[in-house]
Structures are given as structure tokens and as C-alpha cells.
């Protein structure tokens, strides 16, 4: 009988061996020694800032923290940590995409934190977890146990170039979040005005397409009432009418703006591997895009004089509530780590107020620690995204979450390309994920999942 672990990972022994070269060796274990896989080479200084601050505290004065930059290499990639855990070379602490936590926990790669909270803290696990925004805690919860602490988060919205919209004769008040939340019909009209073509029909200026950038199926699914899993019945619901409406959105826009023509536009004005200064938005060729607060630092660095603004995602009709979703990173303890009080204190320091206050403003994202949110420890230009957090949620914390992401993304592309119909796409999604989820009978997401998350100042 095929095991749950091999079914989910689909990773061969040869594939695991390939990853060993990327895994740093662990220092000798000791009560104050921590091996940490950090954010990434470009952000090593941020890890070092937190480490140095921790070493100045009573809890960290005797600590030896060895930092290696071995971050997760993709939103659904788990090969490095699988290799390390099974090979006995895993770090004591790992900076990881939060979305991977439940699937990693379900195949035995992570240590739960509940016992550590009870051992080292003077409060219950529930009270301890209340320091962080709820949807981020939910995303780290598997079978009622916590498998990491959330560090950063974000949200999705629209970015637009005011100069492009003005030139096209678009009413800017429609995009002003203090006055209005744009509807899909209004988006349609605005995009029609923005688009320009040459005599051959090639786009020389483009408006928007829902499959671009952060236009993932989840992005629009949360606004169209689509749910991936029914907690009450324990069933996958990827073939629902709401999910079909998500793929109809892609199909409708691709009919008006053919995928190949849009692709040719970006190949011309934003080719692969172009420098960060060369984007269709920065050159005034693109009017509207889907993005998040991380974009702010790039705008400031590469296009400081452009009037690039942000607003909420489009809604179906006037008066509908706004929606979005939030990703982000976390710190987890891999299976087999050297678990000590010093490790716990460093984890708590980095993922808590002290660490987030230092590094989150530099990333351009948002904190998950409620005190850091309340005290504004983020780029003030990201305030609109902060206002989105109470109505935001995470992707569903499922043990097949990474496989689900890959499946939804693949069929998004097939529908936009015209190789699948929306009906075929949702049926394919259901057929792909349902048997995987069947390996976890009666699985329950946290009861708080999908509900509003209280945030200071909201």
C-alpha cells in the first residue's frame, strides 16, 4: 500500500540526493548552540541584526548562533527540508514560507511547539498565540497543534499608474480607495480606454489581465466566494460553481485580450531577466497590475518620480465588501533539531515584537505580531495594505495545500491559453486533489479559519 508520505511528496531517492549539496552542515550541538537557515543571501544582514540584538539580552548572552542562507526555493518546494531531515543535517531553526507548514507537518518534517510553550511560558498556548494575527496562526496549525511562529505577512491589491490612467481619460476617483472600491465592470471600461495597439494589432500599451502577477486563482476566488475545503463534511470543493466562476474570469479576459498577444507585449516591454528598472509599469506601458506591499520598496528605488498608487481588489458590484489574502514567512523547528531553552528564546525573540520591529520595515511587508502592527513597525506607505488585514485570510491550511496551489496554478494557465475550458479545469482540479486529501479523513482546519482577524487600529 502506498504511504501517505510518498504519495504527497512524490520524491525519489535520487531527487533527494540532488539536494544534499545545498544543505549546510550543522555545528556541534550544545545547550546554547543554534544552527539557523535564514532568509537568503540578499537579506543576510537582517538575520544578523536580529541575532546581534538577541545576543545582547540575558536569554541570549551565552548563545552561539550559526547562520546559513538556505531559504525555501519556492512557494511549494520542500525538497531541501525533506533532504535535510531525512539525512540528519537539518538546522535547529528554519525561515520558511508559512504556506508550506501544514503539509510539512503532515509528513513529519516539523516539531510542534505546544509542549515548548507549556514548558517555557507562564501562559497557556492559546494565550501565547494571541500575540499574533489569527490567520497567520491558523496557517501554522495542523491537527490542533502549532508548528511555527509567524514573522511577516502581506496582502494583495491593485497598483496603478496615475499618468497612464489620466492619459487614457479614466476617472481617477474610481481608483481612490478613500472614495470608492472599483467594480469589475468599471475595471472593464477603464482597461478598454487604456489599451493601445499598433497597425499590426500588437499591444503598445496594456491595461490589465487577471492572470498576471498576483492574479492567482486564490486571489479572485476569495472575492467570488470560492472555498477549497468544506470543514463540516471533510470534502474538497474545487469543482463548485464559485470556482468555475474564477476560471470563467480568466477565460472571458483571454477572449478579449488573447494570452499570446499579452505574452508578446511583455516579451517586448518587460522581457525575462530584464533589469528591475525595465518593467511595463515603470515605462508607462501598463496601467494596472495586481501586487502587494513588497512592491513599494521597488517603486521607491527604481521609479521614485512615477505616480504609482494602490487600491483594493475589484468587487463584483457596488457595496460588496473588500477582500484579499495574505502570505508570508515563519520560523519552524525541523524534526531532529537540538531543542533547548536558548533555541526557544531565539525563536520567540525573532518572531515576536523585538525581531519583527527590526526587520519587517526593511522588507516592505507587514508584521504579524499585533504589538508591532499597533506601533506601526512597517513602511507607512503600506498603510492601505494594513487596513486590509482584518478582512484578509491565508490560503487554506491543508496537508495537501502545496499540491493544491500547483494544481490551481496549472489550470489557470491552461484556461488563459485556451487549452481547457473552465468546466474542464475545475473538474481536473477536483480529480487531482480529492484522492490526496482522502488520505486525511475527517481533517479539520482551525475553526477560526476564514473569519475576520482582529487587528489594532481597525
Q: In this model, does residue 42 exceed pLDDT 90?
A: no
Question: 126-135, 245-254, 448-457: which range is least confident on average?
Answer: 448-457
Report pTM.
0.91
Nearest to residue 266, comparing CAs of 320, 230, 342, 212? 212
Question: Hey, what domains does the chain have and what are their CATH numbers?
Answer: 4-154+326-391 (3.40.190.10)
Q: Note whether 33 and 79 are within 8 A (CB).
A: no
Q: How far apart are CA 99 and CA 140, in angstroms?
A: 8
Q: Quickly list H helices, 241-281.
A: 241-256, 259-269
pLDDT digits (tens, 9 = 90+) for 214-244: 999 999 999 999 999 999 999 999 999 999 9
Q: How far apart are CA 349 and CA 425, in angstroms?
A: 44
Tell me which residue has cell 507562564: 122
Percent with pLDDT over 70 in the chain = 92
Where does 181-285 show beta strands of DSSP type E?
196-197, 203-205, 229-230, 235-236
User: What is the pLDDT at residue 15?
Assistant: 34
| Torsional sign, CA 8, 10, 16, 19 | negative
pLDDT digits (tens, 9 = 90+) for 147-185: 999 999 999 999 999 999 999 999 999 999 999 999 999
SS3 8: helix
User: What is the pLDDT at residue 456?
Assistant: 82
Q: In this model, does residue 393 exceed pLDDT 70?
A: yes
Amino acid at each position: 500500500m502506498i504511504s501517505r508520505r510518498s504519495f504527497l511528496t512524490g520524491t525519489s531517492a535520487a531527487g533527494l540526493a540532488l539536494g544534499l549539496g545545498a544543505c549546510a552542515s550543522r555545528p556541534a550541538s550544545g545547550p546554547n548552540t543554534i544552527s539557523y537557515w535564514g532568509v537568503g543571501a540578499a537579506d543576510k544582514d537582517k538575520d544578523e541584526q536580529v541575532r546581534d540584538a538577541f545576543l545582547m539580552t540575558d536569554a541570549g548572552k551565552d548563545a552561539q548562533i550559526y547562520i546559513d542562507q538556505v531559504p525555501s526555493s519556492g512557494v511549494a518546494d520542500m525538497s531541501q527540508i525533506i533532504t535535510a531531515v531525512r539525512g540528519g543535517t537539518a538546522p535547529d531553526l528554519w525561515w520558511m514560507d508559512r504556506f508550506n507548514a501544514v503539509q510539512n507537518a503532515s509528513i513529519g518534517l516539523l516539531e510542534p511547539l505546544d509542549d515548548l510553550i507549556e514548558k517555557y511560558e507562564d501562559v497557556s498556548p492559546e494565550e501565547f498565540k494571541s500575540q499574533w494575527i489569527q490567520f497567520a496562526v491558523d496557517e501554522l496549525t495542523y491537527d490542533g497543534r502549532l508548528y511555527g511562529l509567524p514573522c511577516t505577512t502581506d496582502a494583495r491589491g491593485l497598483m496603478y499608474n496615475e499618468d497612464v490612467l489620466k492619459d487614457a481619460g479614466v476617472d481617477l476617483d474610481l481608483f481612490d480607495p478613500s472614495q470608492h472600491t472599483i467594480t469589475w465592470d468599471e475595471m472593464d471600461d477603464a482597461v478598454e480606454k487604456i489599451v493601445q495597439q499598433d497597425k499590426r494589432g500588437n499591444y503598445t500599451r496594456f491595461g490589465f489581465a487577471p492572470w498576471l502577477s498576483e492574479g492567482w486563482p486564490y486571489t479572485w476566488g476569495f472575492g467570488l466566494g470560492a472555498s477549497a475545503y468544506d470543514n463540516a463534511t471533510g470534502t474538497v470543493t474545487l469543482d463548485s460553481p464559485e470556482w468555475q466562476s474564477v476560471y470563467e474570469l480568466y477565460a472571458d479576459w483571454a477572449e478579449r485580450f488573447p494570452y499570446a498577444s499579452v505574452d508578446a507585449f511583455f516579451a517586448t516591454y518587460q522581457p525575462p531577466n530584464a533589469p528591475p528598472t525595465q518593467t511595463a509599469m515603470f515605462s508607462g506601458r501598463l496601467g494596472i497590475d495586481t501586487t502587494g506591499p513588497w512592491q513599494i520598496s521597488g517603486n521607491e528605488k527604481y521609479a521614485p518620480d512615477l505616480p504609482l498608487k494602490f487600491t483594493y481588489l475589484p468587487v463584483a458590484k457596488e457595496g460588496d465588501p473588500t477582500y484579499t489574502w495574505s502570505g508570508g514567512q515563519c520560523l519552524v523547528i525541523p524534526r531532529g533539531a537540538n531543542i533547548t531553552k536558548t533555541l526557544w528564546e531565539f525563536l520567540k525573540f525573532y518572531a515576536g515584537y523585538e525581531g519583527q520591529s527590526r526587520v519587517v520595515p526593511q522588507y516592505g511587508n507587514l508584521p504579524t505580531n499585533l504589538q508591532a502592527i499597533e506601533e506601526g513597525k512597517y513602511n507607512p506607505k503600506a498603510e492601505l495594505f494594513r487596513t486590509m488585514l482584518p478582512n484578509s485570510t491565508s490560503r487554506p491550511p491543508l496537508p495537501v495545500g502545496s499540491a493544491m496551489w500547483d494544481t490551481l496554478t496549472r489550470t489557470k494557465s491552461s484556461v488563459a491559453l485556451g487549452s481547457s475550458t473552465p468546466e474542464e479545469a475545475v473538474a481536473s482540479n477536483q480529480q487531482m486533489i480529492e484522492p490526496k486529501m482522502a488520505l486525511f479523513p475527517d481533517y479539520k482546519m482551525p475553526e477560526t479559519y476564514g473569519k475576520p482577524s482582529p487587528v489594532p487600529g481597525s
